[in-house]
Amino acid sequence: MGKGRLVVVSNRLPLGPNPSGGLVVALRDAFDEAGGIWVGTSGRQSETPKTRFDSHPGLPFDRLSFDLTKTEYEHYYLGYSNSVLWPLFHGRADLMETRSRFLADYRAVNARLAQMLAGVVHRDDVIWVQDYHLLPLAQALRATGVSNRIGFFLHIPFPALYDIMALPNSEEFIGWLAAYDLVGLQARRDVARLLEAFRSRPDVELMPDGSAKLGEQRVEARSFPIGIDAAAFAREAAKAFEVQPRVPLEPGERLIIGVDRLDYSKGIPNRFKAFRRLLEVHPELNGLVSLLQIAPPTREEVAAYQDIRSELEQLSGQINGAYADLTWTPIRYIHRAVPRARLAGLYRQAAVGLVTPLADGMNLVAKEYVAAQNTEDPGVLVLSDFAGAAEQMEDALLVNPFDLDQVAEALARALKMPKGERRARHEALMEGLLTQDITWWSRKYLAALRGVPRGLE
Ligand code: ADP
């Protein structure tokens, strides 16, 4: 098996002389070994979109960026990607805003990207496409004659069959997936849903080895749960905790922390309501526990995001109005991003990490919270069963985020949990994070992609 270069394609290209971020850390090793190129949008808009190539001595990959027009940004990115696919894949078909021009530009941007890529890929390269913005890319590449191995990784959940039926172009959607050699998903339940979608189609044949065949194309679907750089994050948290100012608390008061982009999939209203339920049912905890919620704005041009923002402002206002006293504010709600190191220190200060998405591909906050803990006296993770992370993190307190009583009781249990149990749970979780970390994820995926048989031989 030859080792061709690696070609990574993602919506946003990591920019700057020293780009950081999970995916860059994940792929550094692979690029060090095989060399290659990363392709993605530049983040700029222009009416005559330019492409730029750059090679930086400190980076193990070359970069190729391309601009979008304002209309493409609105239709491809805000439109089809984030107003159709995102809500649908997160079980919120009711929030979809479908327009035929969204889909037309989504196809067009992917076709343009495929033309561009066809000019730069070498015969032995493997191509790894990231996430839901680029679903049609393999099909578009095949149409230009590219016959390389092409893999896809979906960072968000895969939708249920009935949700896929709500897609205006559900037939085409399955064809997009079938054009890949390997579709990687976060969790086993995502693989099951993809196979269910394949099974529902008379033109797709499920093979005994678990792969699926549509026409001339054979595709494998497997789960590769993404990890974090747990060792580095643990070091960062310990350092940040020592040097940074702490959240001021009253004597005996403890902190529950929630950290999310402000997205309707993250279950933040449920979280606030479950916290209110805790205060209602456990009056002995009033004044002794507060919730710090950090939720920076995201995709504010999309209406559903404006709605969730006002819902949370109202809810936190109501709860604080009903429960606060002169020295205690039950919910501290911060609608801003917080620097990564600061976040790590805050996780470490918090006695409970509360992660309650209603749908989530993985949820890295759950992993970061665990990695940030003091191993001698760790906090407790309360984690939604609906996060992909729940499949790996069975030693967290797993909850159904729709069941407010259950979440409130899990919080009470976490706050009262003896140190021995906290340590045992944390040790088991941490071992998983260190073994299945971010480098493990990319190695495992790329080994699988390089190993898939090409064609129907
Ligand atoms: P998603 O990719 O849907 O946003 P994840 O939980 O998988 O959800 O990843 C979120 C990432 O963004 C984490 O690395 C987390 O640390 C970071 N993040 C989330 N909220 C904030 C915030 N308020 N300030 C800074 N970083 C944040």
Per residue in 242-280, pLDDT (tens digit) is 999 999 999 999 999 999 999 999 999 999 999 999 999
Using CA positions, which residue lies closest to atom 22 of ligand 1?
Answer: 337
Same domain, 380 and 285: yes
The answer to whether residue 132 sits within a structural domain is yes
- Pick the atom of ligand 1 nearest to 366's CA: 6
pLDDT of residue 457: 41
Assess whether 203 and 245 both reside in one domain: no
In a domain, 455, yes or no: no
Query: Is the CB–ligand 1 distance for residue 368 below 6 Å?
Result: yes
Query: What is the domain-level CATH number for residue 323?
Result: 3.40.50.2000
pLDDT score of 309 more than 60: yes
3-state helix, strand, coil in the chain (%, to 5): 45, 20, 35
How far, in Å, CA of 201 to CA of 195, rounded?
A: 10
Q: Is residue 1 part of a domain?
A: no
- What pLDDT, on a 0 to 100 scale, did the predictor assign at position 18? 87
Classify residue 121 as left (phi > 0), alpha (psi -120 to 50) or beta.
beta
Residue 265 CA, closest ligand 1 atom number: 3
340 & 428 share domain: yes
Question: Does residue 145 sit in the same domain as residue 35?
Answer: yes
On whether both 394 and 289 belong to a single domain, the answer is: yes
Distance 339 CA to ligand 1 centre (A): 11
Domain identity same for 268 and 186: no
Mean pLDDT of 59-65: 96
Q: Is 337 in the pocket of ligand 1 (CB under 6 A)?
A: yes
Nearest atom of ligand 1 to the alpha carbon of 334: 23
Q: Does residue 210 or residue 394 have the better pLDDT?
A: 394
Residue 368 lies in a domain: yes
Task: Give tens-digit pLDDT for 407-440.
Answer: 999 999 999 999 999 999 999 999 999 999 999 9
- Please give the average per-residue pLDDT across 59-64, as a whole number: 96
In a domain, 288, yes or no: yes
Average pLDDT of every residue of the chain = 95
- Model confidence over 119-175: pLDDT tens digits? 999 999 999 999 999 999 999 999 999 999 999 999 999 999 999 999 999 999 999
- Inform me whether the pLDDT recorded for 365 exceeds 90: yes
Residues 349, 288 share a domain:
yes
pLDDT band at 72 (very low <50, low <70, confident <90, very high): very high
Which residues does residue 258 pair with via DSSP β-bridges, in sequence order?
293
pLDDT > 70: percent of the chain: 99
Please give the pLDDT value at position 82: 97
ipTM over 0.90: yes
What pLDDT shows up at residue 126?
Answer: 97
pLDDT recorded at residue 100? 96
pLDDT score of 17 more than 90: no
Does one domain contain both 251 and 391? yes
The pair of structure tokens assigned to 76 is 């491809």
Res 49 pLDDT > 70: yes
pLDDT at 38: 97
Residue 411: the pLDDT is 98
Do 219 and 245 share a domain, yes or no?
no
155 plus 257 within the same structural domain? no
335 part of a folded domain: yes
57 or 180, higher pLDDT? 180
Report how many domains make up the chain: 2
Give the domain range for residue 356: 230-435
CA of 262 from ligand 1 middle (Å) equals: 10
Q: What positions carry a catalytic annotation?
A: 155, 360
317 in any annotated domain? yes
Is residue 364 within 8 Å of 22, Cβ to Cβ? yes
pLDDT in tens, 322-352: 999 999 999 999 999 999 999 999 999 999 9
Residue 211 has pLDDT above 90, yes or no: yes
pLDDT at 456 over 80: no
* Whether residue 221 is found in the same domain as residue 235: no
Question: How much distance in Å is there from the Cα of 345 to the middle of ligand 1?
Answer: 15
Residue 402 domain-assigned? Answer: yes
Q: Is the pLDDT of residue 451 over 80?
A: yes
**pLDDT of amino acid 455:** 57
Distance 65 CA to ligand 1 centre (A): 24
How far apart (Å, rounded) are the C-alpha atoms in residues 219 and 205? 10
The secondary structure of 332-380 as a DSSP string is EEE-S---HHHHHHHHHH-SEEEE--SSBS--HHHHHHHHTS-TTS--E
Give yes or no for residue 296 CB within 6 A of ligand 1. yes
Say what the pLDDT of residue 128 is.
98
Residues 368, 221 within the same domain: no
pLDDT value at 1 more than 50: no
Q: Which residues contact 416 (CB under 8 A, 6 or more apart)?
A: none
